[in-house]
């Protein structure tokens, strides 16, 4: 339960909120036929790709830092 709470807390940051808002806005515009679906798809894929790419890089860097710290202790 504690891990779940930590994960939810980690999700609530500015980058995550902006990503969800952009996705929802463009989805709403597409549903109202105000912009073409192809445009929405391109923008949402770009935004989500950037979001998950930065999250991945953050995790990789965190793991590198942990490995360096454990090597320093030996």
Model confidence over 18-68: pLDDT tens digits?
A: 888 888 898 898 889 898 888 888 988 898 888 888 888 888 887 887 777
HSE-CB for 26 with a 13 A CA cutoff: 18
pLDDT at 70 over 70: no
Domain boundaries, the chain: 2-73
- Position 69 scores a pLDDT of 65
The pTM (predicted TM-score) of the whole model is 0.56
Distance CA 10, CA 1 (A): 14
Output the CA torsion 67→71→72→74 (10° steps).
Answer: 150
Rounded to whole angstroms, the maximal C-alpha distance in the chain is: 61
Per-residue DSSP letter, 36? -
**Quick check: 61 and 44 in contact, CB under 8 A?**
no
């Amino acid at each position: 339960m504690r891990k779940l709470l930590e994960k939810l807390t980690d999700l609530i940051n500015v980058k995550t909120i902006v990503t969800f808002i952009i996705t929802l806005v463009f989805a709403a515009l597409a549903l109202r036929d105000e912009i073409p679906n192809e445009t929405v798809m391109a923008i949402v894929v770009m935004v989500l790709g950037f979001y998950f790419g930065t999250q991945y890089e953050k995790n990789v860097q965190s793991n590198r830092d942990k490995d360096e710290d454990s090597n320093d202790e030996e």
